[in-house]
Amino acid sequence: MYAVIETGGKQYQVSPGIKIRVEKLEVEPGSTIEFEPIAIKASDGKVKFFTGKVVAEVVKHAKGKKLIVFKFRAKKNYKRWRGHRQWYTELLIKEIKEV
């Protein structure tokens, strides 16, 4: 069984027991959060839309890998290096409840 949830403007396919990284959520680590799934595919093969709940536990908040942003202009002696690390929230999917 799996479900498709939407958070942070992105969609994720989840199933119980997996960990996913999503855009940072303002929730304390250790607490639970519920999502309304877009679709649930049950073990019998049927797909249900906009029904049920997905329960997840917030594992941690952290920063991702550094991305390097490099700009330059040819023949002008112009070079700029910048780094960026995006915050994320790691979620552990506990269960998918069907209605």
SS3 30: coil
Could you list the beta-strand ranges (E) of 8-86.
Answer: 10-14, 19-23, 32-35, 39-41, 47-49, 53-63, 67-73, 78-84
Residue that has been written with the tokens 């890998």 in this structure: 65
Q: Is 38 left (phi over 0), alpha (psi -120 to 50) or beta?
A: alpha
Tally of domains within the chain: 1
Mean pLDDT of the chain: 94
Q: Does residue 54 carry a pLDDT above 90?
A: yes
Average pLDDT (59-68) is 97
| CA–CA distance, 19 with 43 (Å, rounded to integer) | 20
What's the mean pLDDT in 22-27? Answer: 96
Task: Please tell me the predicted confidence (pLDDT) of residue 46.
Answer: 83
**What distance in Å separates the CA atoms of residue 54 and residue 41, rounded to the nearest whole number?**
12
pTM for this model (two decimals): 0.83
Task: Give the residue numbers spanning the domain of 39.
Answer: 2-97
Residue 44: pLDDT band with limits 50, 70, 90: confident
Alpha-carbon span 48 to 58, nearest angstrom: 26
